[in-house]
């Protein structure tokens, strides 16, 4: 007998027919003698629809009320799956975030899970009743509903798996594993049978939305064995593997190690340029300190050296959803910073190449710049880490850039 968490994403929960397929998958694990907790997402498109309502109601909506609205999608699917399981003869009960409870911070719309009370869950598992838990939601210290940020059901699943010391956390989705890049953009992307926590963390953080970044960080910290696999098919690859297993670096042998693991893109960043910022100690701090104070994450930063003019342009990126707030903050701090104009640009995309092999190999960045240059794709900003190189480009070139880089690093699957 194993203790397992099964998580089903939005496409897998989109409609009663699909929920029945999910119920059949859960039943199989129960019939095999396993103790099962299931974490579910809202139906595909539902969270977007709910976010749209909030925006329509007010451009500057209250994050507490946003959480009340957007968490409702998962309430519906958790109840529906419990009904479908019962109809299939599997004892099941839903547990909303506030009922377990799943305790979180009070950072509404991007709360962090702090503690999961195992009392009800343990009792349910011991009685052989499948616990169906809506992902993405929790409750803060003052008793208000919170959500964990988009894609947060992955994090709910890993947190539940860690709390119940599960043997496995299986993330069922609409692709059959983690690929070298988004298989919807590059049909010749290759499925990885294993990927390290570190590489997956980096890939997720630069836009590979197959797993929420926080879920990977949590799995790494808690040693949760995460597998990504398809809800719709049971295909195994040539080595007999299903899906992709996220593993520790020590579990990957030298033969498997690749220079580049994958390529990701992110169209959810916005670029801001402040022109003629005076070149003096403290001027950069005057820009970024108020943004940090407002909880806005700055990603890429470019600043040129001032020559004779004594001033320079400063360019940086923020999440596109934070653009309005960023502009408000910078206009409020304008006298203190001292800039001539603020130029926002949302038609940008970040394309990143990730791989632990970069630590020991030179030339990865040069290959990237040359490949993009040959296609006439201009690079607007660059950021690097030990195992990643990212560039900011015009949004229209995203798919082309991902495709040519995939080929340039030798990642294309054989025809
Ligand atoms: P779910 O609703 O199941 O959580 P998501 O839409 O959040 O599913 O994530 C799955 C999607 O992630 C896939 O449909 C795919 O388009 C996208 N994706 C992006 N990068 C990758 C990658 N490297 N490997 C696999 N899928 C990826
Ligand atoms: N339904 C939420 C979203 O769309 C959470 C999730 O699916 O993981 O972001
Ligand atoms: Mg997801």
Nearest alpha-carbon partner for 47 in 156, 155, 138, 151: 151
Of 54, 73, 149, 152, the residue with max ligand 2 atoms within 8 A of its CB, to mutate for a pocket test, comes to 152
**Residue 105 burial by Cβ neighbours in a 10 Å radius (0-12, 13-18, 19+):** middle
pLDDT by 10s per residue, the chain, length 415: 899 999 999 999 999 999 999 999 999 999 999 999 999 999 999 999 999 999 999 988 999 999 999 999 999 999 999 999 999 999 999 999 999 999 999 999 999 999 999 999 999 999 999 999 999 999 999 999 999 999 999 999 999 999 999 999 999 999 999 999 999 999 999 999 999 999 999 999 999 999 999 999 999 999 999 999 999 887 776 666 789 999 998 888 766 677 899 999 999 999 999 999 988 889 899 999 999 999 899 999 998 777 677 889 999 999 998 999 999 999 999 999 999 999 999 999 999 999 988 888 888 999 999 999 999 999 999 999 999 999 999 999 999 999 999 999 999 998 7
To test ligand 1's pocket by mutation, which of 152, 210, 215, 216 has the most ligand atoms within 8 angstroms of CB?
210
Find out whether the peptide bond into 315 is cis, omega within 30 degrees of 0. no
Residue 16 CB coordination number (10 Å): 11
Residues in the chain: 415
CB 260 within 8 A of CB 357: yes
Triad 250, 256, 262: Cα angle to 5°: 100
- The ligand that comes nearest to the alpha carbon of residue 7 is 1
Ligand nearest to the CA of 13: 1
Identify the pLDDT of residue 356.
Answer: 87
Which ligand sits nearest to residue 43's alpha carbon?
2
Residue 39 contacts by C-beta under 8 Å, 6 or more apart in sequence? Answer: 5, 6, 7, 8, 133, 134, 135, 153, 156, 157, 160
Q: Name residues contacting ligand 1 (CB within 6 A).
A: 9-11, 41, 151, 173-175, 178-179, 181-184, 208-210, 262
Q: What is the pLDDT of residue 357?
A: 84
Q: Which domains does the chain have, with CATH numbers?
A: 3-250 (3.40.1160.10), 263-408 (3.30.2130.10)
Determine the pLDDT at residue 414.
Answer: 86
Q: What pLDDT, on the 0 to 100 scale, is given for residue 256?
A: 65
* Neighbour count for residue 20 (Cβ, 10 Å): 15
Distance 172 CA to ligand 3 centre (A): 10
**For 295, what's the count of Cα atoms within 13 Å in the CB-facing half-sphere?**
6
Question: CB under 8 Å to 110, separation ≥6 — which residues?
Answer: 147, 148, 149
Best of 136, 149, 156 to mutate for ligand 2, by most ligand atoms within 8 A of CB? 136
Strands (E), 9-119: 35-40, 92-94, 102-104, 113-116
The whole-number pLDDT of residue 330 equals 97
Q: What is the pLDDT of residue 62?
A: 94
């Amino acid at each position: 007998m194993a203790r397992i968490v099964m998580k089903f994403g939005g496409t897998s929960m989109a409609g009663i027919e699909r929920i029945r397929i999910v119920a059949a998958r859960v039943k199989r694990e129960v019939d095999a003698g396993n103790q099962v907790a299931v974490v579910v997402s809202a139906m595909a498109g539902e969270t977007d629809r709910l976010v749209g309502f909030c925006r329509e109601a007010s451009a500057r909506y209250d994050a507490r009320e946003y959480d009340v609205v957007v968490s409702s999608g998962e309430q519906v699917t958790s109840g529906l799956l419990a009904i479908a399981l019962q109809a299939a003869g599997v004892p099941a009960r839903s547990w909303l975030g506030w009922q377990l409870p799943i305790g979180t911070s009070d950072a509404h719309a991007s709360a962090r899970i702090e503690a999961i009370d195992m009392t009800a869950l343990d009792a349910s598992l011991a009685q052989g009743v499948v616990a169906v838990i809506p992902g993405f939601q929790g409750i803060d210290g003052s008793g208000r509903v919170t959500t964990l940020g988009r894609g947060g059901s992955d994090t709910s699943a890993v947190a539940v798996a860690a709390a119940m010391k599960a043997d496995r956390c299986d993330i069922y989705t609409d692709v059959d594993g983690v690929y070298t890049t988004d298989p919807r953009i590059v049909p010749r992307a290759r499925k990885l049978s294993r990927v390290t926590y570190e590489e997956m963390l980096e890939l997720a953080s630069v836009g590979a939305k197959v797993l929420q970044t926080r879920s990977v960080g949590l799995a790494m910290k808690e040693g949760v064995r995460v597998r990504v696999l398809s809800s719709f098919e049971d295909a195994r690859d040539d080595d007999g593997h299903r899906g992709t297993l996220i593993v520790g670096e020590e579990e990957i042998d030298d033969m498997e190690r690749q220079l580049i693991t994958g390529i990701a893109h992110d169209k959810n960043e916005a670029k801001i340029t402040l022109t003629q910022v005076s070149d003096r100690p403290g001027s950069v701090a005057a820009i970024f300190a108020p943004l940090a104070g407002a909880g806005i994450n700055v990603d890429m930063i470019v600043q040129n050296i001032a020559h004779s003019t004594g001033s320079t342009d400063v360019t940086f990126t923020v999440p596109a959803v934070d653009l309005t707030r960023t502009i408000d903050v910078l206009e409020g701090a304008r006298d203190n910073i001292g800039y001539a104009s603020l130029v926002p640009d949302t038609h940008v995309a970040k394309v990143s190449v990730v791989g632990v092999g970069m630590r020991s190999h030179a030339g990865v960045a040069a290959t990237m710049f040359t490949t993009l240059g040959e296609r006439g794709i201009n690079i607007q900003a660059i950021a690097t880490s030990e195992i990643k190189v990212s560039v900011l480009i015009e949004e229209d070139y995203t798919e082309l850039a991902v495709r040519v880089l995939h080929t340039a690093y030798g990642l294309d699957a054989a025809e």
